[in-house]
A = this chain, B = another copy of it.
Amino acid sequence: MAKQKKLVEAITSMEDDFAQWYTDVVLKADLVDYTSVKGCMVIKPAGYAIWENIQQELDRRFKETGVENVYLPMFIPESLLQKEKDHVEGFAPEVAWVTHGGLEPLQERLCVRPTSETLFCDLYSREIHSHRDLPKVFNQWCSVVRWEKTTRPFLRSREFLWQEGHTAHATAEEAEARTEQMLHLYADFCEQVLAIPVIRGRKTDKEKFAGAEATYTIESLMHDGKALQSGTSHNFGDGFAKAFNIQYSDKDNTLKYVHQTSWGMTTRMIGAIIMVHGDNSGLKLPPRIAPTQVMIIPIRQDAEGVMENAEKLMDTLKASDVRVKIDSSDKTPGWKFSEQEMRGIPLRIELGPKDIEQGQAVIVRRDTREKMIVPFTEIPAKVTALLEDIQKDMYERALAHRNSHTYDATTYEEFKETINEKPGFVRAMWCGDQACEDKIKEDTAATSRCIPFQEEHLSDVCVCCGKPAKKMVYWGRAY
């Protein structure tokens, strides 16, 4: 009963302490556990099942665009990491170093991959000879390590799971097209599957990936008004190709450098789902990503016919491709209701002897708590329709929240006041100088999130220095 007690303690309310609310939810929804390995986490079955659904759906979308999966080593020799100057500067301070293999010191130390550009370049330099070998559109699912000082489950941990795509193309145009294609794929995935609206745009030079010519990003807004970088896609031009000498002989028999891209999405998105959709009863999972979409909860499960009807209902729903389970544990129905809510299962069906007598069941939505009494025969169609409605409504609510927490600022006073008093995105014009980004960060702790693909002209001058404006930028405090 110790475990039961733990859950019924109310979780911290998100209005009181959003960070503590987040920690309570990840633990009480049974998504992660801490471990003896500092800065790392255990992803438990309920958390990993979400990641499996993310993987499956992304992987399907990748493969439709011609992506092929591969697996490269988890170690990078120090000399290989150092080949591209900007890249090593960006990553060397935060990698873990292997110095001994078995009982002997290594001749050259190896870092545990923080990202695998250098390994893919090493592979491509051996594999690419002719224009016939192009394009290469490879991806791998793996874990990477970055030695972070402060960590939080899913959002920032020393080891995390992700996919990293790495491509090589004959021309700059093809590389640019692939970079943008993958960004839009991520954006569509977030909006259609995770019900998380995103801003699509480009990072400033200050914020771009170490070694990239251009980094594109999708940015989402959490419930507390902080931004989360949710997926990035980088165009490397031929910088890595020159550092690693990746050349191909073109149709005209001249040697040319390839143009490369990379793009990634991580377990961080599970954190985004929690912080965009969750409430004070726990997690809320969008139906398309929920490992269990419907939990059937028998009332008086020892009474005649209750379990039989519950199982019959489960089979009917399974036949309609609904992911459904029965909670037949020996807990009380009330406890099972809170558990289903805490774990974010989109629908529950309550089924007791009286319901069965009347040929009906009670369906309750997790997102709105709306209760409906539905005759048995109508349940499969109703459940399917409700799951679609919930998916759509969750997206609309997240979009409305983002829109009502997006502000415009044209003067620096207004900018600072908004950042300090109204958590959310602030849209403001920028001169293009990194000095203004640095000053804004120092004054407000906000960073440039992106230059959106769809810019608006909010004023003629930079919100910080007053010089002529070049770009419109989304600013915000971020995870």
Q: Which residues of A contact B (CB under 8 A)?
A: 2-3, 33-37, 40-45, 48-49, 51-52, 68-77, 80, 93-103, 110, 112, 119, 122-123, 126-127, 129-130, 132-133, 138, 142-143, 145, 147, 158-159, 161
Are A37 and B101 CB-contacts (below 8 A) given A43-B70, A69-B48, A70-B45?
no
Are A123 and B48 CB-contacts (below 8 A) given A42-B70, A142-B143?
no
For A49, the chain B residues whose CB sits under 8 A away are 68-69
Contact status B101-A98, CB under 8 Å: no
For A143, the chain B residues whose CB sits under 8 A away are 71, 74, 142
Contact status A161-B71, CB under 8 Å: yes
Bound-complex Cα distance A103 to B101 (A): 20
For A147, the chain B residues whose CB sits under 8 A away are 101-102
| A127–chain B nearest beta-carbon distance, Å | 7
Contact status A3-B97, CB under 8 Å: no
| A176–chain B nearest beta-carbon distance, Å | 24
Bound-complex Cα distance A44 to B40 (A): 29
Question: CB within 8 A of A69: which of B2, B45, B100?
Answer: B45
Q: Which residue of B lies closest to A267 (CB)?
A: B71
Contact status B3-A77, CB under 8 Å: no
Contact status A35-B138, CB under 8 Å: no
Bound-complex Cα distance A143 to B97 (A): 18
6 intermolecular pairs with C-beta atoms under 8 Å apart:
A41-B73, A42-B123, A71-B161, A96-B100, A97-B100, A142-B143
Q: A44-B70, A48-B70, A142-B143 are in contact. List 8 more A-B contacts (CB 8 A).
A: A33-B123, A37-B77, A40-B73, A42-B72, A49-B68, A49-B69, A52-B69, A96-B110
